[in-house]
Amino acid sequence: MAFTVTKDTVIGDIMDADENTAPFFMEMGMHCLYCPASRGETVEEACFVHGVDPEELIAKLNAHFAG
């Protein structure tokens, strides 16, 4: 079963599924990926805080997981 990211997917779940996704978050300015607060945020929440379009990040992450 492939991992699918939505706006409601929690950052910690994405990182647990594949730590190689870290650069996608780093490029949007989210450098505290391993702190408890950020691991509990959804993609939508993190994008809002960092001023990033969630749909763009979701597309990148899903492309990564699709291989």
Give the model's pLDDT for residue 1. 56
C-alpha span between 65 and 37 (Å, rounded): 24
Residue 11 · residue 33 · CB < 8 Å: yes
C-alpha span between 38 and 23 (Å, rounded): 15
Q: Give pTM, 2 decimals.
A: 0.90
pLDDT in tens, the chain (67 residues): 589 999 999 999 999 999 999 999 999 888 888 888 888 999 999 999 999 999 999 999 999 999 8
